[in-house]
Amino acid sequence: MNTIPNHIANQILTIGPDYKNHRGGIGAVLEIYNGFFNPFHFIPTFRSFNNNYKKMFFFIKQVRKIFKYLRTNKQIKIVHIHSSKKGSFYRKFIIFLIARKVYKKKVIYHVHAGEYDLFYKNSNWLTKQLIKYVVQQSDLIICLSNYWQSFFQKNFTAKRIAIVNNVVAYPKIDNKKNNSSSKIMNILFLGRIGNNKGIFDILSEIVK
């Protein structure tokens, strides 16, 4: 991933969970984004608290901040919304309305949820209409794989869909210190063990 030029980065406001001391996958992605955008215009809409009241209070405060930010920062042309399912979707729906309908900004809706299809399938009629509205009114839908591209193509009439794999920051390796002759490969996997997390794909590739 190349560094985003200043004149482009200045036009993008990123919305998502707080990436500082993050506990989830979206936060990890946004932490890497922060290193490639200069400046990185970012407003978090979620932060982990020990009760729902604090979470709601934080979100309301951030919504006010988004109103002020879009009103005073005229250079912002695109709002890049990173969303998941359930509560994340409803929070981002409010942000979508502010960006698209109030301030007439272009919106990139970036879907990270691993079970977004089940979220859509099992939702009530109203929520399905809200999901459809966001997907079909966004200027660009970003998904993570061919499977999700197919899902959005089959269920919605999106203006544009793009596949963008989650960015990975490669570690800096000191070849002078990495002189071990051992053929043993050590792998550290942090996450829920399941087919949707890709750990079995990694293992199958290694044993080939």
Burial group, residue 23, by CB count within 10 angstroms (0-12, 13-18, 19+):
exposed
With H, G, I as helix, E, B as strand and everything else as coil, classify residue 208: coil
Q: 7-21, 128-142, 188-202: which range is least confident on average?
A: 188-202
Reported as a single tens digit per residue, the pLDDT across 15-64 is 999 998 777 789 989 999 999 999 999 999 999 888 889 999 999 999 99
DSSP per residue, 136-168: HHSSEEEESSHHHHHHHHHH---S-EEE-PPP-
Residue 51: its H or E element: none
**Domain boundaries defined on the chain:** 6-174
Residue 156 has pLDDT above 80, yes or no: yes
d(CA 208, CA 199): 15
Token pair listed for 178: 């990495």
DSSP β-bridge partners for residue 43: 15
At 88, the amino acid letter reads S
Is-cis flag, bond preceding 171, omega within 30? no
Dist CA 56 CA 61 (whole Å): 9
| Residue whose entry in the numeric block shows the structure tokens 């955008």 | 37
3-state helix, strand, coil in the chain (%, to 5): 45, 15, 40
The whole-number pLDDT of residue 178 equals 59
The answer to whether 141 and 160 have CB atoms below 8 angstroms apart is: yes
Partnered with residue 110 across adjacent β-strands are 82, 142
Q: Could you give the CA distance from residue 46 to residue 19 in angstroms, rounded to a whole number? A: 10
Write b or e for each residue in 24-34: b if 16 or more Cβ atoms lie within 10 A of its Cβ, otherwise e. bbbbbbbeebe
Q: What is the pLDDT of residue 187?
A: 75
Return the CATH fold of 6-174. Answer: Rossmann fold (3.40.50)
Over the chain, what is the mean pLDDT? Answer: 89
